[in-house]
Amino acid sequence: MDFNQTKFDRDCSQIGEFSQSILTTEFRFSPTITIIIYITYLLPFCFGVFGNISVCLIFFQQKKLRSITNTFLMNLCLNDLIVLCVSIPMTLSNALLKHWIFGSFLCKIVHFTPTVTALVSTFTVAVIAVERWFFIVNKQKFDRRCTIITLILLWLVSIIIALPEFISRQLEEFVPHAVLRQMMGNNTSFNHKMYSNNNTNLFMNYDMIKSPCKMKKIYYCVVKPGIRNRIFSYIVITVQYLVPFLFVSISCYSISRFLKRRMIRMRSYQNQKRFIQDTSKSTKKKSLDIPDETEQEATSLDDIPSAGITNDNKSNYLLHCFRQTFQQREQLNYQQNSLNFVEQQHMLKYQSHTKRRFHRSRKLLIYVAALFTISWLPLTIVQIYSEHNEETLYKRYGPNFVYGYLLIPCYLISSLSAWINPIIYNYINRSFRREFYSLYSCCFKGSSTTSRKESTSIILKRQQTGRAHNGEVNTTLSTRLTLKQNTHGVNFADQTVVMMHKQT
């Protein structure tokens, strides 16, 4: 009995020492490849953090940029910062390490955070599309309270949808394969249990062995496979890709259709207005035309030699009144045409302004949604394929191939949307680009001065065009009022001239 006990203690001590010698922080690849992967991720990480923080600083510094659309873009920037600083680094470390070393809570958070951030990006793009539709089509603007409530609901819905991922993830204790082989060599009972089990994986569950020896355990962050997990993943994928596509496409189609209808209505209104003006011009010409009898009498007066001073004065007065009537008639027609031209220019400017705003918002939505789809689609395809063909992938190619050639490149591609979004904001929005140059004026001296010159020139041009437009409208309105009064005087003068001519 003593001999068996000492042998058992010696075997347990050997197994314990051997298990302690195994590293739990073992990397899947060589140190060189691991460093290259981290450096490859470090470059977009620094660029994305710099761009998103710059957008946040510009938003908080400039009150004129705190519009509703920019508020939702600010939410997207904060979400991208969470992706770059929390989600991608932990997911990348999980892929590079063979075992999980970060504890139970981080096991849940690491797989829960990417789902939440992906859903937040999806819902933010959809909300921006809805906000643009309300603003352009229904002419209803989101107020501050509605915007805050929308953002809170957006995050709450994303968290609720991603909760099954948080609940299903758990840590599993395993014994390393080398320790199992050591135990099999020392004890025949372990050997019998090992071969009696049909499990062909590299690791066995620690609870199956029930060894009295104290061994070093390793952990894996796993989820139990089943139908529920697959249904959940399909729901997330459907929401992640279908929601932004539907909202962006429907809103852009309805807004473009609304603008086309409004353009047709405005053109028909302008045509009707021109027709009414032409008819009014023709009636005014008929009212201002002098009868043929007076013209014949005037010619007869010109043919008759001057009998005295009084007849010459009357004929001169008659010619002077005729000239005044013709000049005032021409001036009235010219002012009416100029006023119509100014009104048409104003309507065209308003139409072009709304079309430009719609095209900018449509570009923003399409670019952000397309970038989100391109960046997350490879990872989604790999996850779906590995979920259905996990045994064939791991048996045929091994875990190093799956992580090194499939999952890690997809993780890096998924970070594209987080660090390219600030470039899209600066490319589409001139005010963001101008404030970005002014924020880093020490680095962009030439570009900052040129952007300031461009901004001042744009402001001056807008002020000059606005003043000129207001001046033209005021002058045309004043001339219209004066000419209305003058037309009454002209008609009265025509009547008096005709009466005087008849008396002579």
CB neighbourhood size of 407 (10 A): 19
Does 156 score more than 90 pLDDT?
Answer: yes
List the beta bridge partners of residue 221.
171
* CA-to-CA separations, 132 to 244, 349, 406, 486, in angstroms, rounded: 14, 20, 38, 50
* Mean local confidence (pLDDT), 14-19: 48
Residue 369 has what pLDDT?
A: 83
Contacts of 130 (CB under 8 A, 6+ apart): 247, 251
Does 245 score more than 60 pLDDT?
Answer: yes
Whether residue 502 contacts residue 297, with contact meaning beta carbons closer than 8 Å, is answered with yes
Q: What is the pLDDT of residues 334-344, one digit of tens each?
A: 555 555 545 55
Q: What is the pLDDT of residues 376-399, one digit of tens each?
A: 888 888 888 877 777 767 677 777
Which two tokens mark 129?
């599309």
Length of the chain as a residue count: 504
**Where residue 29 falls among pLDDT bands split at 50, 70, 90?**
confident
Instruction: Give 376-381 contacts, CB < 8 A, sequence gap 24+.
Output: 376/118, 376/240, 376/414, 376/417, 377/241, 378/409, 378/410, 378/413, 378/414, 379/407, 379/410, 379/411, 379/413, 379/414, 380/237, 380/240, 380/241
* Mean local confidence (pLDDT), 432-447: 73
The mean pLDDT value of the chain amounts to 70
- According to CATH, the topology of domain 5-185+208-252+347-441 is Rhopdopsin 7-helix transmembrane proteins (1.20.1070)
Whether residue 252 contacts residue 362, with contact meaning beta carbons closer than 8 Å, is answered with yes
Q: What is the pLDDT of residues 161-207, one digit of tens each?
A: 999 989 988 888 766 555 555 555 544 444 444 444 434 343 444 44
Residue 224 has what pLDDT?
A: 78
Q: What sections of 83-226 are H helices per DSSP?
A: 88-96, 104-136, 144-168, 177-186, 188-196, 206-209
* Mean local confidence (pLDDT), 415-429: 83
Does 239 score more than 60 pLDDT?
Answer: yes
Residue 483 has what pLDDT?
A: 43
Does 412 score more than 80 pLDDT?
Answer: yes
Does 309 score more than 60 pLDDT?
Answer: no
Does 453 score more than 80 pLDDT?
Answer: no
Residue 400 has what pLDDT?
A: 74
Domain ranges of the chain: 5-185+208-252+347-441
* Mean local confidence (pLDDT), 287-297: 46
Instruction: Tell me how far apart the alpha carbons of residues 480 and 73 are, in angstroms, rounded to a whole number.
Output: 49
